[in-house]
């Protein structure tokens, strides 16, 4: 039986001061009166730890299970496949990813070679989303996009689990779960759609930060609308910063968090890696601007979840 605890008082005070803790939660995933979501947390960065927070979600496993991960490229800091061992074994899930626009991740053959290189194929079945055989994921009421695009394989999954190793100071855009189910879920044409703000299906465009934030949110909402049974897991471990953000440093192994609400999960992630960071408030503002974290608020506006949450530690 899993044991659930509120975080220790000293951590609670820290989080409360940053606006992290919501009010009381009456079981389940949300409190209908205050629209708050639960984010489960463990300090145990291991396959067993990941299963603790995943089981706390009580996701109903139906049909074919797809586990959205990033297989990464050569010499890239990726999720450790060993963390997925029990999840893949328990759910019978297939790990999948999308191709990149150019370079050494532009074909399925290249990406599957990196999946083997990094050890994902030793854990379970791995597939790539097709570029030539695609489906459009329709979106109503989006900011910029009318649809997102991905490979046809996505349609074959009934239960979705998105697992991502958060890398705040590695790439310009916020490298978390919203990116994992938007840009990383898209096939090559879908990536062009996102990067162009919905104006071009065939070419890459460098767009302003506010356009990219809205496009990421639109594509993520399309994925949430197309498939309803999702679970989201972020791994917060020791990533070395690789950008020019002032005061950025390796925060060590923070833990693993999980939620059925991707917006709550991403807000909790930002609270851990930015609000709790030992830097001044000006640096935090700079980090948020540099990494386009506005996509979290944009997805909330689209109805993709809520940033109000309660953090529960699972031991």
Site of tokens 């992630």: 269
Cβ(90)–Cβ(291) below 8 Å: no
Q: How far apart are CA 124 and CA 126, in angstroms?
A: 6
Any idea which fold 39-238+270-310 has? Rossmann fold (3.40.50)
pLDDT digits (tens, 9 = 90+) for 187-242: 999 999 999 999 999 999 988 889 999 999 999 999 999 999 999 999 998 776 66
Query: Cα dihedral sign for 223, 21, 284, 8?
Result: negative
Which residues, including other chains, have CB under 8 Å from residue 245's CB and lie 6 or more apart? 169, 283, 286, 287, 290
pLDDT digits (tens, 9 = 90+) for 53-112: 999 999 999 999 999 999 988 878 889 999 999 999 999 999 999 999 888 889 999 999
Which comes out higher in pLDDT, residue 277 or 215? Answer: 215
For residue 312, pLDDT beyond 90: yes
pLDDT reported for residue 243: 62
Q: How far apart are CA 154 and CA 143, in angstroms?
A: 23
The phi-psi region of residue 266 (left if phi > 0; otherwise alpha if psi is between -120 and 50; otherwise beta) is: alpha
Cβ(306)–Cβ(262) below 8 Å: no
Which comes out higher in pLDDT, residue 18 or 139? Answer: 139
What are residue 58's phi and psi, to 5 degrees? 55, 40
């Amino acid at each position: 039986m899993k044991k659930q605890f509120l975080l220790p008082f000293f951590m609670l005070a820290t989080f409360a001061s940053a606006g992290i803790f919501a009010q009381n939660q009456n079981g389940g995933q949300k409190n209908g009166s205050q629209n708050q979501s639960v984010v489960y947390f463990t300090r145990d960065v291991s396959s067993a730890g990941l299963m603790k927070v995943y089981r706390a979600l009580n996701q109903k496993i139906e049909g074919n299970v797809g586990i959205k991960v990033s297989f990464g490229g050569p010499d890239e800091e990726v999720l450790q496949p060993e963390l997925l061992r029990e999840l893949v074994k328990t759910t019978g899930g297939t790990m999948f990813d999308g191709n990149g626009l150019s370079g050494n991740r532009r074909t399925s053959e290249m990406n599957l070679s990196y999946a083997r290189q990094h050890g994902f194929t030793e854990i379970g079945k791995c597939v790539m989303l097709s570029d030539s055989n695609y489906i459009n994921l329709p979106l109503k009421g989006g900011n910029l996009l009318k649809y997102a695009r991905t490979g046809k394989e996505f349609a074959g999954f009934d239960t979705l689990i998105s697992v991502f190793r958060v890398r705040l100071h590695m790439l310009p855009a916020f490298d978390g779960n919203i990116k994992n189910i938007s840009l990383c879920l898209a096939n090559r044409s879908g990536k062009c759609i996102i990067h162009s703000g919905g104006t071009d299906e065939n070419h890459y465009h460098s767009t302003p930060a506010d356009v990219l934030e809205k496009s990421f949110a639109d594509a993520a909402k399309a994925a949430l609308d197309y498939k309803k049974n999702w679970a989201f897991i972020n791994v917060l471990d020791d990533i070395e910063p690789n950008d020019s953000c002032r005061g950025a440093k390796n925060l060590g192994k923070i833990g693993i968090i999980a939620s059925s609400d991707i917006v709550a999960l991403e807000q909790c992630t930002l609270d851990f890696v930015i609000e709790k960071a030992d830097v001044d408030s000006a640096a935090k503002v700079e980090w948020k601007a540099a990494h386009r974290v506005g996509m979290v608020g944009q997805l909330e506006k689209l109805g993709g979840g809520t940033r109000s949450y309660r953090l529960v530690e699972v031991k």
